[in-house]
Amino acid sequence: MRTVIKNAHLLDATKDYGTADLYIKNGLIEGSNLSGSVDETIDASGLTLCPAFIDLHAHLREPGQEVKEDLATGLAAAAAGGFGSVVSMANTKPTVDEAGIVADLVAKAAKIGQARLFPSASLSHGLKGETLTDFAALKKAGAVMITDDGIPVQDSHLMRRACEYARELDLIIQTHSEDPSLRQSGVMNEGLVSQRLGLPGNPISAEAIMIFRDCEIAAMTGARVHIAHVSSQRGMQVIEWFKAQGYGNITAEVTPHHLTLADSVFESFDSIYKVAPPLRTAADVAYLREVIAKGVVDSIGTDHAPHTQAEKDQDLLQAPFGIPNIEVTFPLLYTDLVEKGYLSLSKLIELLTVGPAKVMKWDAPTLEAGKAADLVLLDLKGEKTVNPKMFKSKAKFSPWSGQSLKGWPVKTFVAGKQVFSV
C-alpha cells in the first residue's frame, strides 16, 4: 500500500520542511516529493502534517470499569486527539498487576486497530502499597511502565526496592507524588479560594514533599523515575533543583488542565474541575507555562480520566477525581499557549512527540524517511467549538465545553493506516 499526502506543511520537533508531498509505503515514511504510482492520494492543502502524538498517561479503565471507558472507545478517542501511541494506567478493577492481564490488553488492542496501546502495570499488588509486583514478568508480557498512579506509594522502603528492581530491568517508574497524610480529604487546592468556599484543601506541600522524596530515591538508586502531573510551582522547582545537579534519570510531565485552569474555577462548585493533584493558583499556572518553554518539562501527558456523567454530577465531596481531555489536548494547548505566544508550535509538538519518546527510550518520531508512519494532519487555521457529545470517549463532558479552539486533528494515521478522519 502506497499513499501520498499532498500539499501539506510538514513539521516535526526538529525541522520545518515547508510545503511538500509525503509518501507512505508499507507502514513507513518513504520520503517527500517522490514520484511513481500510488494507491491513495490525500489532499492536505492548508493543513499541517506532523508525527502523531504520544501520551504517557491515560486512564482507559479496562478491565473492569468499562462503563466509564474501554479500549475501543479510549483508543478511538486518542486517535481523534491526534495520538498514535498511548500508555494506559494500571489502576483498573482488577488492577493490572499480573502478566496475563497485560497480555490480554495488548492482544485486544491489536485487534481494535486504533492508536497503539502500551500498557503500564502496577508497582504494588492491588495498588495496596504493600508488596511489589513481578516487574520482570510484567515487562515480558508487554508492560512498558510501572506505576501505582492514582495512589501514592507511601512506604519509602517499598519505593526504593521498586526503583532498584526497575533499574535492573531498565523499566521506568511513574509516580503519583502526593503525601497522603498532608493531602487528607482535600478536594481542591488549599488556599484563599478553598478557605472562602469552605471546601477541604489539598496543600501544595503535599506535592512538593513527595516529589522531593521520589526524586531523592531516584538519585539514590539511579532508576528512571517520571514525575507525573506536576501541578505547582514549588513541586516543579524541586524537579528543577535535582535536574540542575545532573540527575538525568528524573523526568517530569505536566497536563493540559494544569496549564490552562486555575483553582478560581471552583467558584462554580462544579465537580467537573475536581482532579488529583488539584488545579492550583493562577501563579502556579503561569509558572508551569514558563518552565515548559524553557525545557525543564520533558513531556505533556493528558491524564485522560473518564468517568460517568452520574459520577461527576455528584457534589465536590463525593465526585471522583479526573477530567477526560485526550480529544481536546492539542487544540486546547495550541489555542491557549501557541496562539497567545506562551509556547512555539515546534516546542508543543516536541512535548507531545520527541519528549515522551525520550522519556521511554523510544525512537524519536520525525518525518524522515524510514520512520513509522504514525502521523496527524492538523487544521491550525479553522476554529471549532468543543462539543463533548461528539467525543469518541464515553465521557461526554468537558471543562472546555462551548469554547472555540483552533488546531483540531483532521486525520490520524498509525503505521500508515488511517485510524481517524473528520
- Domain parsing of the chain, residue ranges: 2-48+371-421, 53-360
Residue 8 is predicted with a pLDDT of 98
Instruction: Tell me the mean pLDDT in the region 200-216.
Output: 98
Q: Which residues contact 285 (CB under 8 A, 6 or more apart)?
A: 258, 259, 260, 261, 262
Instruction: Tell me the mean pLDDT in the region 201-225.
Output: 98
Q: In whole angstroms, how far apart are CA 46 and each of 7, 9, 281, 328? A: 8, 7, 38, 21
Within 13 Å of residue 133, how many CA atoms lie on the same side as its CB?
Answer: 31
Instruction: Tell me the mean pLDDT in the region 185-189.
Output: 97
d(CA 333, CA 341): 11
63 pLDDT band, cuts 50/70/90, is: very high
Residue 399 is predicted with a pLDDT of 98
Three-state secondary structure call for residue 328: coil
Q: pLDDT per residue over 27-39, tens digit each?
A: 999 999 999 999 9
In percent, the amount of the chain with pLDDT more than 90 equals 100
201 pLDDT band, cuts 50/70/90, is: very high
Q: Does domain 2-48+371-421 have CATH number 2.30.40.10?
A: yes
Mean pLDDT, the chain, rounded, equals 98
Residue 242 is predicted with a pLDDT of 98
Which residue among 214, 303, 336, 379 is the active-site one?
303
Q: Which residues contact 58 (CB under 8 A, 6 or more apart)?
A: 74, 78, 86, 87, 88, 89, 301, 302, 303, 304, 326
Fold (topology level) of 53-360: TIM Barrel (3.20.20)
Active site residue 315: no
Cis ω before 365 (30° cut-off from 0): no
240 pLDDT band, cuts 50/70/90, is: very high
149 near 90, Cβ under 8 Å? yes
Residue 270 is predicted with a pLDDT of 97
- Rounded to 5 degrees, what angle do the CA atoms 104, 110, 116 make? 110
